[in-house]
Amino acid sequence: MTDSKDKSRKINVDGEEATPKAAENKPETEAAASEENTDAKTEETPEADPLEEAQKQIEELKDKYLRTVAEFDNYKKRTLKEKTELILNGGAKTVAAILPVLDDFERAIADKSDDPKAIKEGIQNIFNKFVKSLESLGVKQIETKDKDFDTDYHEAVAMVPGMGDDKKGKVVDCLQTGYTMNDKVIRHAKVAVGQ
């Protein structure tokens, strides 16, 4: 009988009675410990300082600004270089178009012909070639014959009185031919206008 009492005591002391109380205490202590850990973690990770965030943002913006300024400076230098090259070499196309006319003049001068008709015909051919070369570059003569006087294209150098009502305000004579290049006036035509 003593053995059965010892067993029941052991069961009572070591077993069932001790286990439920320990099990009940365990969750409470684990929950408390996990709450403490969470509180410790929040205390360990401090909230972001607004001053530090603002300084980071300032640094980022400063970096962007410096990069933009450098990019713009490079753009200005590149554009200036291209513009300089265009000014220095822009006439190359024009000169290349006119060189064949110069060659024709050289051949005409080297010719020893005394025939005035042949010389006049040769000069006319060179003139026509020169006009075509200019037209290929976008240069055109301003028409003046029987046109109304237009200050956008004409420059009046003389007023001719007594031409009649039909010639009033019209171009009577062209003293110097005017030219446009790509529809922009590069030289106004100097004209006499009826009064």
**What mean pLDDT is predicted for residues 64-71?**
96
Backbone phi, psi, residue 130, to 5°: -65, -45
Nearest CA to 57 out of 68, 70, 48 is that of: 48
Neighbouring CB atoms inside 10 A of 152's CB total 7
The residues of the chain that CATH labels 2.30.22.10 are: 141-195
pTM, 2 dp: 0.54
Distance CA 12, CA 10 (A): 5
Is residue 114's pLDDT more than 90? no
Digit-coded pLDDT (tens) for 180-194: 999 899 999 999 998
Percent above pLDDT 90 for the chain: 43
Is residue 125's pLDDT more than 90? yes
pLDDT at res. 162: 73
Distance CA 106, CA 112 (A): 12
Q: What is the largest CA-CA distance in the chain?
A: 163
Is residue 2's pLDDT more than 70? no
- SS3 (DSSP) at 158: strand
The CATH code belonging to domain 67-137 is 3.90.20.20
Distance CA 116, CA 119 (A): 5
The class that CATH gives domain 141-195 is: mainly beta
The residues of the chain that CATH labels 3.90.20.20 are: 67-137
CB 178 within 8 A of CB 190: yes
Digit-coded pLDDT (tens) for 141-179: 999 888 888 889 999 998 888 777 778 888 888 999 999
